[in-house]
C-alpha cells in the first residue's frame, strides 16, 4: 500500500518560491505511477498542478507551467514541487498524489499541506 507524507513550510513570502516534498513509503517511485500535485484554495475546487511519469516525462497545467517544477529523487523515494514567484492566489491546500498509469486516476493522496502566501 502506497503511503504519502508531505513536508514543507506553511507560510511563504510573496514573490518567493514555494517548496514542498512528498515522501513515499510502501512502493519504489521508480517502479510505476505518475507522481504529482493537486491544490485546493480555501473554500474552492481542486486544481491539477502537474504529474511526473516514473519513466521520466513531466506534464504541467498550462496555466502554471512557467512557474512549476516537479522533480523526483529516487534515492530518497520522494518527489518535490517548486512554484516560483508566488502570490496570494497561490494560497491553498497542496496535495501530493499518485496517479495510476493505466486507469489514469488518482489512487493515493497525501494528507494535504495548507500553504499561505503572506508577508
Which residue in the set 20, 37, 51, 90 belongs to the binding site for other proteins (CB under 8 A)?
51
Total number of residues binding other proteins (CB under 8 A)? 20
Contact call for residue 69 and other proteins (CB under 8 A): no
On whether the CB atoms of residues 4 and 95 are closer than 8 A, the answer is no
* Cβ–Cβ < 8 Å for 40, 95: yes
Residue with cell 491539477: 48
28 binds other proteins (CB under 8 A): no
Sole window of 8-16, 21-29, 77-85, 107-115 interacting with other proteins (rule: CB under 8 A) = 107-115
Amino acid at each position: 500500500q502506497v503511503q504519502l507524507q508531505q513536508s514543507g513550510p506553511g507560510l511563504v513570502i510573496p514573490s518567493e518560491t514555494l517548496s514542498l516534498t512528498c515522501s513515499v513509503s510502501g512502493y519504489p517511485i521508480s517502479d510505476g505511477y505518475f507522481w504529482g500535485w493537486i491544490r485546493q484554495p480555501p473554500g474552492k475546487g481542486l486544481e491539477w498542478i502537474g504529474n511526473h511519469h516514473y519513466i521520466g516525462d513531466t506534464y504541467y497545467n498550462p496555466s502554471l507551467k512557467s512557474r512549476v517544477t516537479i522533480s523526483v529523487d529516487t534515492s530518497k523515494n520522494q518527489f518535490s514541487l517548486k512554484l516560483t514567484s508566488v502570490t496570494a492566489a497561490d494560497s491553498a491546500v497542496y496535495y501530493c498524489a499518485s496517479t495510476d498509469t493505466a486507469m489514469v486516476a488518482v489512487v493515493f493522496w497525501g494528507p494535504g499541506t495548507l500553504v499561505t502566501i503572506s508577508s
